[in-house]
Structure 1
């Protein structure tokens, strides 16, 4: 039998081209997990990204890569390569977080059983705010699994919000300002979600270690 301390959790971020929003989210999430949980527990989380229309092996958009410089991650971002979304990748993920509802729809169409574990990133953050941290297990991986299950139950009771409330707008054809806006939305969502994962095991406080999230321009 696999013990909880040995279990793993796989997170997949999805956007369109796989070189802006989901790429940024993948690299930043991996970094935040290490800082929040420590190296050992963070290694139990696998983080990946894909695009519904991605070209295999494309490099990260330079404007989105520049947004990672504030976190000291621009060098890591230079080695990024995109990956097209496919059914096995969706099926192998414990949580799929998408940039927009159309990406959520695409993931579920590829793997219908993933409906239970696929959310827009901002949707998941919104639902997570209603989850009581003290109701979740202390182990980070078991905590993540329980948080997904709780969000799934809450989704059926949540009030309707318009699509733009759940979306991270596509910055690919925009200038640096558009990429900055998308990065801020992703950062805010990830900081909240990963703080929830780490709050059960004495995880480090993120707000004192990282750049301030300034107002979205």
Structure 2
């Protein structure tokens, strides 16, 4: 994260369906609900086995248009270590893709989650005002009220501090199924799941905290 900037990378297999929809749904949601503050977030996507420069899947594009999200001018990207190096948060569709990210660049382990895992953990740690403030973002002396990206970093710090201490779930519950060979209903269900995670992020960005000065 650069000064008051936060970068999110979505990853799936081919970068044609799940991560492509996630990128465009995130851009639309941030623009609609956050406005100009959304420009402080950079959203991108890539695929662990992608062929470069392909348009997104036609059905995925149709589902995006149903949701008023921009579906044109998309080009798939193959995931590489340089692409992984800069994002503050990496959200994958499956556990295998999460592992692939860590194999490519082990240093990303702390900031890499599946989409479902991140939504579950974020819900578990609760709203910003109820956190026990273990975050290093808090410990350095407080957060500006309007710093949406710092609130995101604080959320990530908090989740990272508790992720290995929370009750486990069946592994498959953290995977998001690939709709690529299914009917449009499966693409819609996938988009709904993605949207729930994006909404979790957006709530943190859009909701000012009352007083986040460090309490010692």
**TM bracket (short chain):** 0.7 to 0.9
Structure 2: give runs of 5+ residues left out of the alignment.
132-137, 211-216
Comparing 129-138 with 140-149, greater Cα deviation is found at 129-138
- Distance apart, 1:131 and its partner CA: 3.1
Verify: 1:72 aligned to 2:71, yes or no. Answer: no
Q: Which of 187, 200, 208 is the equivalent residue of 1:200?
A: 208
How far apart in 1 are the matches of 2:14 and 2:171? 20
Verify: 1:93 aligned to 2:90, yes or no. Answer: no
- Distance apart, 1:201 and its partner CA: 6.6
Q: What is the TM-score normalised by the length of structure 1?
A: 0.85
Per the alignment, residue 131 of structure 1 pairs with 126
How far apart in 2 are the matches of 1:147 and 1:155? 12
Per the alignment, residue 160 of structure 2 pairs with 152
Secondary structure at the aligned position of 2:44 is classed as strand
How far apart in 2 are the matches of 1:179 and 1:163? 22
Q: Deviation string for 1:196-216 (max 9, x for gaps)?
A: 2211279xxxxxxxxxxxxxx
Q: 1:82 to 1:170 in 2, by over 3 A?
A: same
- Distance apart, 1:70 and its partner CA: 2.2
Q: What is the TM-score normalised by the length of structure 2?
A: 0.85
Instruction: Please tell me whether the aligned partners of residues 171 and 179 of structure 1 are also in contact (alpha carbons under 8 angstroms).
Output: yes
Instruction: Please tell me whether the aligned partners of residues 46 and 79 of structure 2 are also in contact (alpha carbons under 8 angstroms).
Output: yes
- Distance apart, 1:171 and its partner CA: 0.8
How far apart in 1 are the matches of 2:205 and 2:96? 27
Secondary structure at the aligned position of 1:192 is classed as helix
Instruction: Please tell me whether the aligned partners of residues 148 and 204 of structure 2 are also in contact (alpha carbons under 8 angstroms).
Output: no
Instruction: Please tell me whether the aligned partners of residues 131 and 150 of structure 1 are also in contact (alpha carbons under 8 angstroms).
Output: no
Per the alignment, residue 10 of structure 1 pairs with 7
Q: Deviation string for 1:32-82 (max 9, x for gaps)?
A: 11222222x211111000000111011111111111122222xx3121111
Comparing 96-105 with 178-187, greater Cα deviation is found at 178-187
Structure 1: give runs of 5+ residues left out of the alignment.
203-217
Where has structure 1 moved over 4 Å in runs of 4 or more?
A: none
Instruction: Please tell me whether the aligned partners of residues 17 and 180 of structure 2 are also in contact (alpha carbons under 8 angstroms).
Output: yes
How far apart in 1 are the matches of 2:76 and 2:171? 26
Per the alignment, residue 52 of structure 1 pairs with 48
Verify: 1:33 aligned to 2:27, yes or no. Answer: no
Per the alignment, residue 214 of structure 2 pairs with none
> CA-atom RMSD, angstroms?
1.9
Verify: 1:190 aligned to 2:198, yes or no. Answer: yes
